[in-house]
Chains A and B, each alone.
Chain A
Amino acid sequence: MLSSIRTLWYTFLHLFHRSETVQYPEEMPYLAPRYRGRIILSRDPDGEERCVSCYLCAVACPVDCISLQKTEEDGRWYPEWFRINFSRCIFCGFCEEACPTYAIQLTPDFEMSEYERHNLIYEKEDLLISGTGKYPDYSFYRVAGLAIPGKDKGDAERERPPVDRHGLLP
C-alpha cells in the first residue's frame, strides 16, 4: 500500500521535470566530438592520405567488417581499396584505437540508414575526407623511418643524418 503511494508520488513529481524528448530531426541533439558514429579516413596536415594500409583496424574489428589492400607509391604505403561494411559495423571504435596514424576516426554522425544493405558498403572514396579530423597536427611519416618523396632518410623527427657506411670512426 505504502509502496504504491510512493510510486504514484514519484510519478507525480515527474510532471515538474524538464522534458528529455528532443524533436529530432527538427531539433538536432548535441553529440560530443568523441561520439562513435560514421567512420571516416582522414588526411595528414600536408593533405596526403593518412592511412598507411597497416591492417590493424581490420584485425581489431570484432565483426570483421573492414577490409583493404595495400599498395605502394614511391615508398609510401596506401590502401589500394578500403571497404567498410556498415551493415555489420557495431561502432565500437576499436579500429580508431588500433590505428597508429590517426587515419581512421569515428565521427558524431549516425544518420546513415539505408533501405538496401549494399548501400551500406562504403568504399575508400566514400570514407576519405579532405581534413585531418580530430587530430590536426599528427603526420605519421614525420616520425617514421621510411623515406618518402620530400622526406629523405634522416629528415624525420629525432633522426640523425644517414650514416657513412664507409667510415669506421666512432
Chain B
Amino acid sequence: MSIIHIDGREFTANPQDNLLQVCLSHGFDLPYFCWHPALGSVGACRQCAVRQYANPEDKTGRIVMACMTPATDNTRISIIDPEATGFRANVIEWLMTNHPHDCPVCEEGGECHLQDMTVMTGHTYRRYRFTKRTHRNQYLGPFIKHEMNRCIACYRCVRFYRDYAGGADLDVQASHNNVYFGRDADGVLENPFSGNLVEVCPTGVFTDKTLSAAYNRKWDMRSVPSVCVHCGVGCNTSVSERGGAVRRILNRFNGAVNGYFLCDRGRFGYGFANNPNRERAPAIRPRGGAARKATKAETLAELAKLPGADGTIIGIGSPRASLEANFALRTLVGAEAFYAGVSAPESRCLAIVVAGLQSGNVKTPTLREMEAADAVLVLGEDISNTAPRIALALRQAVRGRSIEIADRLKIAHWQDAAVRTAAPDAHSPLFVVSPAATGLDDIAAATCRAAPDDIARLGAAIRHAIDHTEPAVEGLSEALQALATRIAEALAAAKRPLIVSGCGLGSEAVLHAACAIAEALSNPERVPGLVLAVPECNSLGLALMQSGSIEGAIGAVTSGGAATVIVLENDLYRRAERQAVDALFKAATTIIALDHVPTETMAKADIALPAANFAESDGTLVNGEGRAQRSFQGVFPNDDVQASWMWLRDIAAAQGREFAWQSLDDVVRSLAAAIPAFAKIAQATPPGSFRIAGSRIRTQPHRYSGRTAVDANRTVHEPRAAIAEESPFSNTMEGYYGPMPASLIPFFWAPGWNSGQSLNKFQDEVGGALRGGDPGVRLLEPDGTHAHPTEATPPAAFERSFGRWLVIPRDRLFGSEELSAMAPAIAERIEPPSLSLNPEDARSLNLRSGDAIQAGFGAKLVQLTLTVAPELPSGVATMSAGLPKQDWLALPGWATLSRAEPVP
C-alpha cells in the first residue's frame, strides 16, 4: 500500500494502480475517455490531467495524465488545481469542435459519457466557429449502428475489438483529426462480442440497433437485475422495459462472472420476449378439435380434474425454466414422476459435470480466475459457440505470458500499449483439441482435430504423461503421443492450469478424460481449474434435482403407466426424436404445456398455459459454475400471463391441495428444505421483504417521464402501477436508490454519471468486485467426499466406417439456442443448416461445397447444405445442431451421406 496525497488529503492506494484508478476508487470525479478498467491506459485522450508535485515544498508542480502515472508512495497531486481544471476543459473543448449537433437524435443521449464529461468540466458554450469534419457511416449488421461523425478518437473500440476480443474486421483508418473507426467495407461485424462496442464507446458512434428500433432514453426505462438465459455461463444483465416490452439488455457487472462484457447472443437475444405471435391467454384444445381461448377460471376448473400425484401424472421440467418453476412441478407431480426434460445422453453428461464440480482437489474457477490461468487445455468443447463469454476469458488468460514479461521489464499492467508491445507474440500455452475448427484456434499453441473417442484417448494419454501411474494409451500415433507429452508438460509446469471441456460433443468419455486430467494435475500445492460448460441457463440446476430423462418420461407414458403429462417451458420436439414425441402425444390422454414462446409442443397440447418469460417473472438460475443467481421481474403483463410456478400452485389449489406458497421466497424456502444441494440458495439475493430505510429499491430512474400521458389514450384515470407484493423492488420511480446489495442493482447511475461508467461508484475499487461482494452464491464446492468421475480405460480408437460417417453436433452462436433464435436481430444472423466434411470425403461423394446433401440416420433423412472443412478428420462429419426447424437427432450418430435430390 502506498500513501498518496490528493488535494492535501491522504489516501491509501495500491502502488500497482495508476492515479486515475486511485482517484476514481476514492470517489473523485476525474474525467477520462480512453482509459477503461478492463482495457487499461493508453493516454490517447489527454483528459484526466492532474497537477503532480514532487514534494511538500514543491508549489509549482507539473501537469501529468493521471491514467499514465503510477500511484507510487508519497505522490502528491491536485485535481482542483486551476491550471489542471482549465487543461481538462480545453481538451473537452477541442474534442467537441468536430462533434456534431446531434444529441437530440443520438441513441447515446442521456447515457453518454462524453455528455457527462463535458458537463463535468464545465464546457457549456461552443466558441469554435469554423467547419466540422464529417464521415460517411457503414452498415455493420443487425446489431450495431454506426455514426462516425460523433467520434472523439479515444481508440477504445479497436482496443476492445482487436486487442481484447481478438476481432480482425474493425480497425482505424486515415490520420489525425480524420481517423476513422470502421470496417474495410460495409458488412456485418464478425466478432461475437461486437455488441460491447455500444458500452465501450464513450459516445454515440456505436449504438444498439435493436434499441434504436423502439427507442427510449435511459431515464424512461424501468430496469431490473437479470441473468442471461441464452447459455450456461449465467452472465448478469440489466433488462430495460417500457410499454410492456423489453427494450434492451445491458451488461450488469459481476466481477466473478461476466465482468464488463457480454456476448452478442446474450445482448441481442431478448427479442423473443416481445414476440407478437405468442399466446397470452390459456387455450383448451379438445382432441380432434380446434383450440379455443379460455379464461383463467375456466382453465383452472378444467385442470382441477387432473389426478393428484398418484403415478398417473408425470411432469417434464426444463433446463431453460427457473429452479422455482421446476421445483413447483416436481412438487405437484411428486419427485418420482418428475423428469428433467433433457435427453438421456445429456443427462449423463450433466451428472459427470455435477460430480466434477464437487470432487477432489479441483476447483471450478470463476471467469475472473479463468483469466488468470497460465496454461489452458480445451478438450472437445467448441467453447466460443457454446459458452462464448468463457472463450473471451480464455483469450485474456493467454496474455499471461506477455504480462509476465512486462513484469520482468517493470511495466505496470495498466500500461496497455506497452504491455502489448513488449511481447506481442508471447502467449501462455492454450491447446485446443476438438473435431472441428474453433474460435480460439488463432491463439492456440497447438490444435488437434480428432473424433470424440480419439479426443478422450488423447486426454488419457495426457493424463498418463502427467502421472505415469495412470494407464498408458495403446496404439496412439507418434505425433499424437508427442502432442500429449507437450500438453502434459505445459500443464504440469503451470501454476494455475485450467482444463476446459463441456457437454457440447455429447461425449461422456471426453468429460471423463477432462476430469481425469484435472485430477492428475492436482497436488497439495496446486489446485487446477476445471471448467465443464453446460448447454443451457439452468442445465446444472436441473441436474442437481437428479431426475429422469425425457426418454424415461416417454417410456412412462407409452408403457401405459401415466396418462397425464405436464410439460414445463419445454419444446419436446427439440429434446427427442419426432416419432417418440408423437407417440407420447398419442399415448397420453391429457397434455398440459406451459410456455412463453410459440412452440410445436404448445401448439399440440390439450391445454396450453401462457407462462411468463425471464423478464416477466422472478426466478433463480444455476450456471455452469454452480452459482445460483436471481433474476427479477421487469415486465408486468396485465393479462393471464404469470410465472410457471404460480400456474402450478394454482393447479394444486384448484385440486384442493395447498402448497401454501404466497411468494417466490416461500418456494425457495421449500426448495432449500427439500433438496440438500439447494440449501444455500436463499443466500443468492436478499428476500422479498428486503427494504432499505423502509423503502423498496426503485426500478425507474428519478427522471422517468410520461406517467400521466402514456396510458391516457386508454384511460385518463392513471392506473396504479403493478405492485409485486413480495419484492425488494418498487416498480416505479418512488423508492430508494443508492448503495445497495450487489444482486439488487437495477441499473447503474450516479449523480453526474448518467452513462454505464457510473459503475465505478458501485465497486470496491474500479475494476474490482461490486461493493458487498459479487452477486450469486456457489452451491457446490469440492468437499473431498466425492470421487472424481473417471473411467479406468479410455475408449477404443475411432475407426471410420466406409459408407457411413460419424456425425457430430456443432453448436452455433446464433441459432442453436432456442430462445435467442426467435429474436429478430439474431434470426438475421442465422445461417442455414449445414453439414461439413473434409475435402477428400466430399470428393468421394462427388460433392462440392454448397451442394445439397442428404444424411440418413436410419429411416430419418435430413437435407442440408454441404460445407467443406479441411481440418475435419476423415470419416467424421459435423452438423449444425438445434437450429430453428431442425429436428432433434441423436448426435453424435452414424449416418449415410449422399447427394440430395433437388427439391422441386
How far is B858's CA from A112's CA once the two chains are assembled, in angstroms?
Answer: 76
**Contact: B149 with A153, CB < 8 Å?**
yes
How far is B243's CA from A144's CA once the two chains are assembled, in angstroms?
Answer: 29
A161 touches B (CB below 8 Å): yes
Among the stretches B97-105, B262-270, B342-350, B682-690, the one at the interface with A is: B97-105
How far is B709's CA from A53's CA once the two chains are assembled, in angstroms?
Answer: 15
How far is B827's CA from A157's CA once the two chains are assembled, in angstroms?
Answer: 40
**Contact: A70 with B215, CB < 8 Å?**
yes
**Contact: B705 with A166, CB < 8 Å?**
no
- Tell whether A121 pairs with B104 under 8 Å between CB atoms, given A55-B216, A163-B180: no
B136 touches A (CB below 8 Å): yes
- Which A residues, 52 to 70, have Cβ-Cβ distances below 8 Å to chain B? 52-56, 58-59, 61, 63-70
B134 touches A (CB below 8 Å): yes
A149 touches B (CB below 8 Å): no
**Contact: B132 with A145, CB < 8 Å?**
yes
Within 8 Å by CB of A168, from B129, B175, B182, lies B175
- Which A residues, 82 to 99, have Cβ-Cβ distances below 8 Å to chain B? 83-85, 87-88
**Contact: B174 with A167, CB < 8 Å?**
yes
How far is B136's CA from A68's CA once the two chains are assembled, in angstroms?
Answer: 30
Main secondary structure of the interface of A (DSSP, over half): loop
Find chain A residues with CB under 8 A from B135 CB. 153, 162-163, 165
Give the Cβ gap from A6 to chain B, nearest Cβ, in Å: 50
How far is B705's CA from A88's CA once the two chains are assembled, in angstroms?
Answer: 13
- Which A residues, 143 to 158, have Cβ-Cβ distances below 8 Å to chain B? 143-147, 153-154, 158
B125 touches A (CB below 8 Å): no
For A64, give the chain B residue with the smallest CB separation.
B707
Among the stretches B385-393, B599-607, B710-718, B766-774, the one at the interface with A is: B710-718
A34 touches B (CB below 8 Å): no
B241 touches A (CB below 8 Å): no
- Tell whether A88 pairs with B708 under 8 Å between CB atoms, given A160-B134, A164-B174, A167-B174: yes
A42 touches B (CB below 8 Å): no
How far is B176's CA from A167's CA once the two chains are assembled, in angstroms?
Answer: 11
Find chain A residues with CB under 8 A from B137 CB. 147, 153
Task: State which size class the interface on A falls in.
Answer: 35 or more
Give the Cβ gap from A140 to chain B, nearest Cβ, in Å: 7
- Tell whether A67 pairs with B710 under 8 Å between CB atoms, given A144-B100, A170-B175: yes
**Contact: A159 with B132, CB < 8 Å?**
yes
Among A59, A61, A143, residue most surrounded by chain B Cβ atoms (within 10 Å): A59
B17 touches A (CB below 8 Å): no
Find chain B residues with CB under 8 A from A87 CB. 716
How far is B147's CA from A65's CA once the two chains are assembled, in angstroms?
Answer: 32
**Contact: A159 with B102, CB < 8 Å?**
no
How far is B709's CA from A109's CA once the two chains are assembled, in angstroms?
Answer: 21
Within 8 Å by CB of B104, from A65, A85, A101, A159, lies A101
How far is B173's CA from A85's CA once the two chains are assembled, in angstroms?
Answer: 50
**Contact: B716 with A55, CB < 8 Å?**
no
- Tell whether A144 pairs with B705 under 8 Å between CB atoms, given A159-B132, A162-B134: no
Find chain B residues with CB under 8 A from A72 CB. 212-213
How far is B148's CA from A164's CA once the two chains are assembled, in angstroms?
Answer: 13
Find chain A residues with CB under 8 A from B176 CB. 170
Chain B 225-245 interface mask (CB, 8 Å, partner A; 1/0): 000000000000000000100
How far is B136's CA from A160's CA once the two chains are assembled, in angstroms?
Answer: 12
A100 touches B (CB below 8 Å): yes
B220 touches A (CB below 8 Å): yes
Find chain B residues with CB under 8 A from A77 CB. 104-105
**Contact: A144 with B174, CB < 8 Å?**
no
Question: Contact residues of B with A, CB < 8 Å?
Answer: 100-105, 109-110, 129-137, 147, 149-150, 173-176, 178, 180, 182, 212-217, 219-220, 243, 703-710, 712-713, 715-716
User: Contacts A59-B705, A65-B708, A163-B178 given; 7 further ones with Cβ under 8 A?
Assistant: A55-B705, A59-B703, A61-B706, A121-B709, A144-B102, A144-B104, A163-B180
Q: Which 6 A-B pairs have the closest CB atoms?
A: A145-B100, A67-B706, A54-B104, A67-B709, A58-B705, A165-B180
28 CB contacts below 8 A, A to B, read: A52-B105, A54-B104, A56-B104, A58-B706, A64-B704, A70-B214, A72-B213, A83-B710, A88-B708, A100-B104, A101-B104, A118-B715, A123-B713, A144-B102, A144-B105, A145-B100, A145-B147, A153-B135, A158-B131, A158-B132, A160-B133, A161-B134, A163-B133, A163-B134, A163-B174, A165-B135, A167-B174, A169-B175
